[in-house]
Protein backbone atom coordinates (compact mmCIF):
# COMPACT_ATOMS: atom_id res chain seq x y z
CA UNK A 1 0.00 0.00 0.00
CA UNK A 2 0.96 3.64 -0.24
CA UNK A 3 3.42 5.16 2.23
CA UNK A 4 2.65 8.22 4.25
CA UNK A 5 5.09 11.08 3.84
CA UNK A 6 5.32 14.72 4.86
CA UNK A 7 2.09 16.41 5.98
CA UNK A 8 0.30 13.08 5.99
CA UNK A 9 0.39 12.91 2.19
CA UNK A 10 0.28 9.37 0.83
CA UNK A 11 2.84 8.48 -1.82
CA UNK A 12 1.79 6.21 -4.64
CA UNK A 13 4.46 3.94 -6.04
CA UNK A 14 2.31 3.45 -9.14
CA UNK A 15 2.81 7.13 -9.97
CA UNK A 16 6.55 6.86 -9.39
CA UNK A 17 6.25 8.90 -6.25
CA UNK A 18 9.59 8.38 -4.60
CA UNK A 19 10.48 11.71 -3.06
CA UNK A 20 14.12 12.74 -3.08
CA UNK A 21 14.82 13.49 0.57
CA UNK A 22 18.58 14.05 0.80
CA UNK A 23 19.17 17.84 0.60
CA UNK A 24 22.79 17.24 -0.44
CA UNK A 25 21.65 15.36 -3.53
CA UNK A 26 19.01 18.00 -4.34
CA UNK A 27 21.70 20.70 -4.08
CA UNK A 28 24.16 18.68 -6.18
CA UNK A 29 21.55 18.37 -8.95
CA UNK A 30 20.81 22.11 -8.92
CA UNK A 31 24.54 22.99 -8.88
CA UNK A 32 25.34 20.66 -11.77
CA UNK A 33 22.46 22.07 -13.82
CA UNK A 34 24.18 25.48 -13.97
CA UNK A 35 20.97 27.47 -13.57
CA UNK A 36 21.29 31.16 -14.55
CA UNK A 37 19.18 33.96 -13.13
CA UNK A 38 17.71 34.49 -16.61
CA UNK A 39 16.66 30.85 -17.09
CA UNK A 40 13.20 29.40 -17.47
CA UNK A 41 13.46 25.92 -15.96
CA UNK A 42 11.10 23.06 -16.78
CA UNK A 43 10.60 20.52 -13.99
CA UNK A 44 8.75 17.26 -14.60
CA UNK A 45 7.06 15.60 -11.62
CA UNK A 46 7.89 18.12 -8.87
CA UNK A 47 6.11 16.05 -6.23
CA UNK A 48 6.20 17.90 -2.92
CA UNK A 49 8.69 20.41 -4.33
CA UNK A 50 12.06 19.60 -2.72
CA UNK A 51 13.82 20.31 -6.00
CA UNK A 52 11.40 23.05 -7.05
CA UNK A 53 12.18 25.38 -4.14
CA UNK A 54 15.94 25.09 -4.79
CA UNK A 55 15.41 25.84 -8.48
CA UNK A 56 13.27 28.87 -7.61
CA UNK A 57 16.21 30.32 -5.66
CA UNK A 58 18.30 30.39 -8.87
CA UNK A 59 16.00 30.67 -11.87
CA UNK A 60 13.93 33.47 -13.33
CA UNK A 61 10.99 31.10 -13.56
CA UNK A 62 10.15 27.45 -12.92
CA UNK A 63 7.42 25.67 -14.87
CA UNK A 64 6.51 22.41 -13.15
CA UNK A 65 4.38 19.72 -14.80
CA UNK A 66 2.67 17.45 -12.24
CA UNK A 67 0.04 14.77 -12.78
CA UNK A 68 -1.21 14.28 -9.21
CA UNK A 69 -3.62 17.01 -8.05
CA UNK A 70 -2.65 16.41 -4.40
CA UNK A 71 0.98 17.15 -5.24
CA UNK A 72 -0.10 20.28 -7.14
CA UNK A 73 -1.90 21.51 -4.00
CA UNK A 74 1.02 20.59 -1.75
CA UNK A 75 3.44 22.48 -3.99
CA UNK A 76 1.18 25.54 -4.19
CA UNK A 77 0.91 25.55 -0.40
CA UNK A 78 4.67 25.26 -0.04
CA UNK A 79 5.53 28.35 -2.12
CA UNK A 80 2.54 30.47 -1.04
CA UNK A 81 3.65 33.62 0.76
CA UNK A 82 7.31 33.14 -0.20
CA UNK A 83 9.14 35.64 -2.44
CA UNK A 84 9.17 32.96 -5.15
CA UNK A 85 5.41 32.38 -5.40
CA UNK A 86 5.13 34.50 -8.55
CA UNK A 87 8.03 32.71 -10.27
CA UNK A 88 6.41 29.28 -10.20
CA UNK A 89 3.93 28.11 -12.83
CA UNK A 90 2.37 24.70 -12.23
CA UNK A 91 0.89 22.80 -15.14
CA UNK A 92 -1.46 20.12 -13.84
CA UNK A 93 -1.36 17.28 -16.36
CA UNK A 94 0.38 14.29 -17.88
CA UNK A 95 3.79 15.36 -19.18
CA UNK A 96 3.37 13.14 -22.24
CA UNK A 97 0.17 15.00 -23.18
CA UNK A 98 0.87 18.63 -22.34
CA UNK A 99 2.10 21.11 -24.90
CA UNK A 100 5.49 22.23 -23.66
CA UNK A 101 6.22 25.91 -23.13
CA UNK A 102 9.56 27.57 -23.94
CA UNK A 103 12.30 26.58 -21.49
CA UNK A 104 16.09 26.98 -21.25
CA UNK A 105 16.82 24.07 -18.92
CA UNK A 106 15.04 20.94 -17.78
CA UNK A 107 15.83 19.70 -14.28
CA UNK A 108 13.80 16.77 -13.01
CA UNK A 109 13.47 13.71 -10.85
CA UNK A 110 11.11 11.99 -13.25
CA UNK A 111 8.60 9.15 -12.95
CA UNK A 112 10.74 6.27 -14.26
CA UNK A 113 7.94 4.52 -16.11
CA UNK A 114 8.02 7.16 -18.85
CA UNK A 115 11.81 7.59 -19.11
CA UNK A 116 12.16 6.75 -22.79
CA UNK A 117 9.18 8.65 -24.30
CA UNK A 118 9.87 11.60 -21.97
CA UNK A 119 13.45 11.86 -23.19
CA UNK A 120 12.43 11.85 -26.86
CA UNK A 121 9.62 14.31 -26.24
CA UNK A 122 12.21 16.70 -24.79
CA UNK A 123 14.62 16.12 -27.67
CA UNK A 124 11.89 16.77 -30.25
CA UNK A 125 10.90 20.07 -28.63
CA UNK A 126 11.70 23.31 -30.50
CA UNK A 127 13.36 25.63 -29.91
CA UNK A 128 15.90 23.27 -28.40
CA UNK A 129 16.74 23.77 -24.73
CA UNK A 130 20.32 24.30 -23.48
CA UNK A 131 20.58 21.25 -21.26
CA UNK A 132 18.56 18.75 -19.26
CA UNK A 133 19.72 17.30 -15.95
CA UNK A 134 17.53 14.32 -15.22
CA UNK A 135 17.35 11.60 -12.58
CA UNK A 136 16.81 8.18 -14.18
CA UNK A 137 16.79 4.65 -12.94
CA UNK A 138 20.50 3.72 -12.78
CA UNK A 139 20.28 0.93 -15.37
CA UNK A 140 18.41 3.19 -17.78
CA UNK A 141 21.02 5.92 -17.30
CA UNK A 142 23.82 3.46 -18.07
CA UNK A 143 22.05 2.46 -21.28
CA UNK A 144 21.58 6.13 -22.28
CA UNK A 145 25.30 6.92 -21.98
CA UNK A 146 26.64 3.60 -23.33
CA UNK A 147 29.19 3.86 -26.15
CA UNK A 148 29.69 1.68 -29.23
CA UNK A 149 31.19 -1.62 -28.11
CA UNK A 150 29.69 -1.51 -24.61
CA UNK A 151 27.40 -4.34 -23.53
CA UNK A 152 24.58 -1.86 -22.95
CA UNK A 153 24.89 -0.11 -26.33
CA UNK A 154 21.47 -0.20 -27.93
CA UNK A 155 18.96 1.68 -30.05
CA UNK A 156 18.27 3.89 -27.03
CA UNK A 157 21.91 5.05 -26.87
CA UNK A 158 22.26 5.46 -30.63
CA UNK A 159 19.12 7.56 -31.01
CA UNK A 160 19.74 9.68 -27.94
CA UNK A 161 23.34 10.34 -28.87
CA UNK A 162 22.35 11.19 -32.45
CA UNK A 163 20.39 14.12 -31.05
CA UNK A 164 22.35 15.00 -27.92
CA UNK A 165 25.57 14.71 -25.97
CA UNK A 166 24.96 12.72 -22.81
CA UNK A 167 27.06 12.28 -19.70
CA UNK A 168 26.62 10.50 -16.39
CA UNK A 169 26.85 12.99 -13.52
CA UNK A 170 26.01 11.28 -10.27
CA UNK A 171 24.89 7.91 -8.92
CA UNK A 172 22.19 8.23 -6.25
CA UNK A 173 21.51 5.31 -3.93
CA UNK A 174 17.91 4.24 -3.30
CA UNK A 175 18.07 5.28 0.38
CA UNK A 176 18.04 8.94 -0.68
CA UNK A 177 14.33 8.53 -1.52
CA UNK A 178 11.17 8.10 0.56
CA UNK A 179 9.77 5.57 0.16
CA UNK A 180 12.95 3.94 -1.19
CA UNK A 181 12.47 2.49 -4.66
CA UNK A 182 13.79 -0.99 -5.52
CA UNK A 183 16.60 0.34 -7.68
CA UNK A 184 19.39 2.91 -7.55
CA UNK A 185 19.23 6.08 -9.62
CA UNK A 186 21.61 8.22 -11.65
CA UNK A 187 21.61 11.82 -12.77
CA UNK A 188 22.41 12.35 -16.45
CA UNK A 189 23.17 15.54 -18.39
CA UNK A 190 21.69 15.84 -21.88
CA UNK A 191 22.78 18.61 -24.26
CA UNK A 192 20.95 18.76 -27.59
CA UNK A 193 23.29 19.04 -30.57
CA UNK A 194 23.32 22.37 -32.40
CA UNK A 195 22.30 22.28 -35.13
CA UNK A 196 20.41 18.97 -35.04
CA UNK A 197 21.82 16.43 -37.53
CA UNK A 198 20.12 16.69 -40.93
CA UNK A 199 18.53 13.23 -40.91
CA UNK A 200 14.97 12.02 -41.22
CA UNK A 201 14.55 10.56 -37.75
CA UNK A 202 11.93 7.96 -38.74
CA UNK A 203 14.17 6.61 -41.52
CA UNK A 204 17.15 6.67 -39.21
CA UNK A 205 15.28 4.84 -36.49
CA UNK A 206 14.16 2.20 -38.99
CA UNK A 207 17.79 1.54 -39.88
CA UNK A 208 18.84 1.42 -36.23
CA UNK A 209 16.04 -1.02 -35.37
CA UNK A 210 17.34 -3.26 -38.09
CA UNK A 211 20.92 -3.01 -36.82
CA UNK A 212 19.85 -4.13 -33.34
CA UNK A 213 17.21 -6.62 -34.45
CA UNK A 214 19.23 -9.76 -33.74
CA UNK A 215 21.11 -10.21 -30.54
CA UNK A 216 24.69 -11.49 -30.94
CA UNK A 217 24.60 -11.10 -34.72
CA UNK A 218 27.02 -8.90 -36.59
CA UNK A 219 25.74 -6.12 -38.83
CA UNK A 220 27.19 -8.11 -41.74
CA UNK A 221 25.05 -11.11 -40.85
CA UNK A 222 21.91 -8.99 -40.40
CA UNK A 223 22.33 -7.30 -43.77
CA UNK A 224 22.83 -10.64 -45.52
CA UNK A 225 19.44 -11.96 -44.35
CA UNK A 226 16.96 -12.46 -47.16
CA UNK A 227 14.13 -10.60 -45.46
CA UNK A 228 16.41 -7.64 -44.72
CA UNK A 229 17.56 -7.48 -48.34
CA UNK A 230 13.98 -7.74 -49.54
CA UNK A 231 12.83 -4.93 -47.24
CA UNK A 232 15.70 -2.72 -48.39
CA UNK A 233 14.93 -3.39 -52.05
CA UNK A 234 11.21 -2.77 -51.57
CA UNK A 235 11.96 0.54 -49.88
CA UNK A 236 14.41 1.51 -52.59
CA UNK A 237 11.81 0.85 -55.31
CA UNK A 238 9.18 2.76 -53.38
CA UNK A 239 11.55 5.67 -52.95
CA UNK A 240 12.40 5.70 -56.66
CA UNK A 241 8.72 5.55 -57.58
CA UNK A 242 7.89 8.44 -55.26
CA UNK A 243 10.71 10.43 -56.89
CA UNK A 244 9.01 9.77 -60.22
CA UNK A 245 11.87 7.69 -61.64
CA UNK A 246 10.91 5.70 -64.70
CA UNK A 247 11.93 2.06 -64.80
CA UNK A 248 11.49 1.44 -61.10
CA UNK A 249 7.98 0.09 -60.83
CA UNK A 250 6.41 0.79 -57.47
CA UNK A 251 5.67 -2.31 -55.43
CA UNK A 252 2.21 -2.61 -53.82
CA UNK A 253 3.54 -1.26 -50.53
CA UNK A 254 4.09 2.14 -52.11
CA UNK A 255 0.47 2.48 -53.08
CA UNK A 256 -0.58 1.34 -49.64
CA UNK A 257 1.21 4.03 -47.74
CA UNK A 258 4.62 5.17 -48.84
CA UNK A 259 7.97 3.95 -47.67
CA UNK A 260 7.62 1.18 -45.16
CA UNK A 261 9.68 1.48 -42.03
CA UNK A 262 12.78 -0.64 -42.28
CA UNK A 263 12.06 -1.56 -38.72
CA UNK A 264 9.03 -3.49 -39.88
CA UNK A 265 11.47 -6.16 -40.96
CA UNK A 266 12.77 -6.43 -37.43
CA UNK A 267 10.95 -8.19 -34.65
CA UNK A 268 11.15 -5.39 -32.12
CA UNK A 269 9.15 -3.22 -29.77
CA UNK A 270 8.59 0.51 -29.75
CA UNK A 271 9.90 1.49 -26.39
CA UNK A 272 13.66 1.14 -26.98
CA UNK A 273 13.61 -1.01 -23.88
CA UNK A 274 14.23 -4.26 -25.66
CA UNK A 275 17.74 -5.02 -24.57
CA UNK A 276 18.44 -7.12 -21.53
CA UNK A 277 20.20 -5.19 -18.81
CA UNK A 278 22.78 -7.85 -18.22
CA UNK A 279 25.90 -5.72 -18.31
CA UNK A 280 28.08 -4.73 -15.42
CA UNK A 281 26.49 -1.50 -14.31
CA UNK A 282 29.27 -0.36 -12.01
CA UNK A 283 31.44 0.91 -14.84
CA UNK A 284 30.88 4.55 -13.97
CA UNK A 285 33.72 6.61 -12.62
CA UNK A 286 31.43 9.49 -11.67
CA UNK A 287 30.80 10.60 -8.13
CA UNK A 288 28.59 8.35 -6.04
CA UNK A 289 26.24 9.44 -3.28
CA UNK A 290 24.84 6.70 -1.10
CA UNK A 291 22.36 6.63 1.73
CA UNK A 292 22.24 9.38 4.33
CA UNK A 293 18.70 10.54 3.63
CA UNK A 294 17.52 13.21 6.05
Binder to ligand SAM among 9, 22, 50, 72 (CB under 6 A)? Answer: 50
42 is a site residue for ligand SAM (CB under 6 A): no
| In contact, 79 and 85? CB cutoff 8 Å | yes
Using rule CB under 6 A, residue 235 touches ligand SAM: no
Query: Under the criterion CB under 6 A, does residue 66 sit at the interface with ligand SAM?
Result: yes
Q: Does 18 bind ligand SAM (CB under 6 A)?
A: yes
CB–CB of 278/151 below 8 Å? yes
19 binds ligand SAM (CB under 6 A): yes
Site membership for ligand SAM, residue 94 (CB under 6 A): yes
* Given 40, 73, 114, 211, the residue binding ligand SAM (CB under 6 A): 114
Q: 30, 33, 39, 48: which one contacts ligand SAM (CB under 6 A)? A: 48
Interaction between residue 46 and ligand SAM (CB under 6 A):
yes
Of 144, 187, 168, the C-alpha closest to 20 is 187
**By rule CB under 6 A, what count of residues binds ligand SAM?**
24
Compute the least distance from the CB of residue 27 to ligand SAM, in Å.
12
Residue 67 contacts ligand SAM per CB under 6 A: yes
Residues that bind ligand SAM (CB under 6 A): 15-20, 44-48, 50-51, 65-68, 71, 94-96, 109, 111, 114
Amino acid sequence: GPNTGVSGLEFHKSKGQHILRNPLVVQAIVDKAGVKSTDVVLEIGPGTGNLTVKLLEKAKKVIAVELDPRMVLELQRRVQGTPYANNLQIIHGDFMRVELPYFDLCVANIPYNISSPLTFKLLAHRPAFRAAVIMYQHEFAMRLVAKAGDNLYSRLAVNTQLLARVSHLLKVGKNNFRPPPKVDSSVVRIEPRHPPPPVNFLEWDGLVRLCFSRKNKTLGAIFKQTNTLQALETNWRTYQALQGNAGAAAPPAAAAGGIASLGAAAADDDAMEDDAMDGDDDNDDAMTVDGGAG
